[in-house]
Amino acid sequence: MKHFIITLILLSLVLSTSSCLIVAPEVPSPSPPPETTTNHAPVSPIDTSWSPPPIEHTSTILPSIADVVENVYPSVVTISTEVVTSGFFGPQTQEGAGSGWIISNDGKIVTNNHVVEGAEKVTIELADGRTFQASPDNVRRDPLTDLAIIKIDAKDIPAANLGDSRQLRVGDWVIALGNPLGRGLRAKEGTVSGLKVSLSVGQGQTLNDLVETSAAINPGNSGGPLVNMRGQVVGITSAKISGVGVEGMGYAISIKTALPIIEQLITKGYVTRPWLGVTLYTVDEYVATVNRLPVDKGVVIIHVAQDSPADKAGLKELDVITYFKDTEVTTAEELLQLLHSSQVGEKVKITLVRGNDTKTTYASLIQSPPPNK
């Protein structure tokens, strides 16, 4: 009897323990959300008759980039240059590479001024592999617009077709052809990302009416053509912005701006502009301190050509021009833009600071003389 009672107690403990392990606690039912008591009006439809627009299953097929390149490629050239410079150990020869394109089939080639500037030897290689040596006497340059013409002794070479850069739109496809890194002719596609862009490329020099493109531009591309999808030249590749975090910002001189300069380089040998006869430099605090100038803002004259309009107007070296034609000027670039927008024969008002005095004089602009070779 005692054994039976002990067995019953142990069985009861086992059942009690088991029930604690396997029985899940009861989860209370969630309470219903409280009723909304706001008094907002019921939501009404915007337009019960509206239906989604149809999905277009066709799209415009772009012209083949390969076909465009194939048409333009024969008119593109690579340019190799040699420039002799003075070094610590004597004269040294520096080699350079650039691009160009044929504008007429009798051997006239367009490129950038900075590609051939100072070169004593210029070698042109056509797309078909033929090479020509261009004499420095057959190179015509315009540093202000960074354009140049090279004449080689060749006949019946394929000239490129020109397009109207005024018809370009942001987003249009374009192709840059040239000689990147001196590795031979290459083509790279992109789009027009900006129009009528101005870019400062040096002291007192700004390139205007540029076409900005996302097409990859590298050293050696300079002077090569930027073409539209019809294979027409709409720009001359000239510059790029480089730096950490900067991508896809290359620039080409529009054919609209370049063509009048090209025409003068070919027909006259140089570009005529209104001429004052001074060499200018932008004044800042450093320039003012070093040269003991009376002001730290304006444009300082560092050279006056003999018998030039500036010379006849009484301008002198270290005069600081502050106003040109009653417009304030703080950089050489601003003054040159005003000068080049003037007319040959125009009498212009110039305000300057000399020592402790502010003076006003007038100069009659003349046509710029031919550049020295």
Residues noted as catalytic:
114, 146, 222
CA 331 to chain centre: 21
Residues with Cβ within 8 Å of 99's Cβ and at least 6 positions away in sequence, in order, are 76, 77, 78, 79, 111, 115, 177, 178, 179, 220, 221, 222, 223, 224, 237
Q: Please report, as a single letter, which amino acid is at residue 359.
A: K
Other CB atoms within 10 A of residue 216 CB: 16
Helices (H) and strands (E) in the chain, counts: 7, 22
In this structure, are residues 173 and 232 in contact, taking their beta carbons and an 8 Å threshold? no
Single out the residue of 138, 233, 240, 249 nearest to residue 192, CA to CA: 249
Strand partners, 237: 252
Dig out the tokens for 157 from the structure. Answer: 């070479």
Alpha helices in the chain (DSSP H): 2-22, 65-72, 113-116, 255-267, 285-290, 309-312, 332-340
The CA distance from 97 to 116, in Å, is 9
The residue written with tokens 């444009």 in the block is: 299
The residue written with tokens 């590749």 in the block is: 237
The CA distance from 341 to 335, in Å, is 10
Secondary structure of the chain: what % helix, strand, coil (to 5)? 20, 40, 40
The CA distance from 221 to 100, in Å, is 9
Dig out the tokens for 45 from the structure. Answer: 């439809």
CA 189 to chain centre: 15
